[in-house]
Structure 1
Amino acid sequence: MTAASLDRIRIGSAPDSWGVWFPDDPQQVPWPRFLDEVAEAGYAWIELGPYGYLPTDPARLAEETARRGLSVSAGTVFTALHRGPAVWDATWAHVSEVAALTRAMGARHLVVIPSFWRDDKTAELIEAPELTAEQWRLLATGTERLGREVKERYGLDIVVHPHADTHIDTEENVARFLDATDPELVRLCLDTGHYAYCGGDSVKLIETYGERIGYLHLKQVDPAVLAEVVRDGVPFGPAVRRGVMCEPPAGIPALEPVLTAAQGLDADLFAIVEQDMYPCPPDQPLPIARRTRRYLRGCGA
C-alpha cells in the first residue's frame, strides 16, 4: 500500500485521545496542552470534543488552532431523540450552541451520539436496553428532523455515532436505524472501536451501507478485555478504565482493511483517532498519539 492509495482520507485526532470526556474535570489535561500535543504528534485536524472544553469564543479558538496549524473537522452533540417531541427544545438548545461554533470554525460535520441506556459508572438501568417500535419511530423521525434543521440553519451534515451502551449499537440495530432514516438527511459516523465492541464488522458495514458512511472514528478494542467486559456485564465507562480500547495495532478491527474499504467509497472522509482513555495520566497520551500517527502513515493515511 502506498501513501497515495488513501488520498481521500483525512486523518485527525480528538480530545478523547487525551482522556477528555467532560467540559471541565480535574483529571483531564488543560486544553492548551491538548492543542500543543495534538499538533506535536503530527495531526492537522481535531474535533471540538465536549462543548466547553476548548474555548467557545470563535475568534479565540480560531487564533489558538491556527497558530498551531490545526483545523476543526466536527463538533459533537448528545441526544435522546427516541423520547419524542418533549425533548426537542432542550436538544435543539444544546445542538445550536455546538453547531454555531462548529460552523464558525469552518467545519462541516456534527457528530450525534445517542443517550446511554445505563449509568456509565454504576451500571444502573436508566431505561430499557431495547426500544419499542414507537421509540424506534420517534428516533428515526427526530433524527431526520435534526438533520434537516442543522443543514438548513447551519449548513452542517449530521453523522450519527453508533455507541456502546446506547440503542444504536449492534449490527442489527445499526441496520434498523439506517433502513428507517432518509439517506439525504442522516449518515453515520462509523466508530471502528465501538462497532467492534458491540460485535460489528466495520468493513462489512462499509461494503453494505457505503453511501451512508459520512465520517470515521478510528479506534481498536482489546479482545481479551472485551471478553471479560461482556462476561461481567461491565458498563462502558468502567470498561474503558479496564483498558478495553487499546493502542493500534494491538487490537481489533485491523485498521488497514477499514481504511482501504473507506477509500473505495470514492468520497472525501475524515478519519479521526479516538482512543477512549478517561481517566489517564497526563503524560500518557502524547507518546501514544505519536505512535498511532506513525502507524497510520504506514497504512498509507
Structure 2
Amino acid sequence: MRILAWHVHGSWTTALVQGPHTYLLPVTPDRGPDGRGRARTWDWPANAVEVAADDLRDTAFDVVLLQRPEELDLVQRWTGRRPGRDVPAVYVEHDAPRGGASDSVHPLADQDAVPVVHVTQFNRTYWDTGRARSLVLDHGVLDPGYRYTGASESVAVVVNDPVRRHRVAGTDLVLGLAAELPVAVYGMGVDRLRGDGLDLFEDLPQARMHDLLPAHRLYFHPYRWTSLGLSLIEAMLLGMPVLGLPATAAPEAVPAAAGVLSSDPDVLLATARRWLSDPEEARTRGLAAREHALERFGIDRFLDDLDAILASVVQEVTA
C-alpha cells in the first residue's frame, strides 16, 4: 500500500513508518509545516519516501492519512483528489479537545466521508465528532529496551515549550517539585525555565534522551490537559516508575502497580521522596510499567490495528 502522510508528529510518524508499506512524505523547499519530509532527528527506514509537493499530482497513492484540517485542502490542491471521495482517507486526531466537554466540536464533525481516528479512548469520548465515524488507534512506540538504573536520586520530566504552556504542561508543578527535590527537565524550550533545583537538557536527540532518562530514579508526567504524551510511554518502556496527575488518558495508561497518579501535590512530593529513598520500590514499579507498556503500546499491535483501519476505508471507497 502507498500511504500519503505529512510529517507532523515525529514520534508518532516514527511508529507509522515501521510498517511494510511505502510512506509518501510531502516536502517543500523550506521544509516548513506543510512539507517537512523525512525526519532529521529520527532514524527512519527507506520506505519513508520524500515527494516534492509539486510532484504529488502525478504520484500514485492508495490512501491519505490526514492529521490537520488544512490537509483536506492541501490534498485537493496538490493532487486534484478529494479525500474520502476520490481517494480513501482517514483523519488521525492527535490532540484532546481544547474546549470543554460540552463544546468540543471536531473540525470534521459535519461530514461522513472521512473517519476520525483518535489516539486515546479519552479523546474519542470528549470530542464531538458529529456525523463522522469515530475510531481509536492506541499509540504504538518502538521499544528502546530496558535501561533503567535509577542511579541518580533525581526526578526526570520531558516537556516541550514549558514556559508558554505553563499550566497546561504543569510547569508550575515541576517548579514546585524542584523547590524540594532535584529535577531534570528535557525538551524544546526548557532553557528558558528559571528555578532552583533544575537541571536543564535542551532539545536532545531522542536516542540521547533514551540514554539519559533511565538514570533518574523516577519519571514525572505533570500535564493537566493533553493527549497521551509519547514520552510517558517511552519512560515506561525504559523501565521508569511513573508519577503524575490523573488527567486525560493517563489513568488508563498507567496501572497502579506502575506508579502513582494524584491530584494532590503533597502526595506527589511524598511519593517522589519515598522512591528517592527506596530504590527497590522504584525499580519494582518501573518493571511493572515496562510490562504494561509493552502489552498496551507495542509497535506490532499498533501496525496491525492501523492496517485494519486503512484496509476498511480503502475497501469502502473503492468498492
Q: Which has the higher contact order (CA 8 A, sep 6+)?
A: 1
Rg larger for:
2
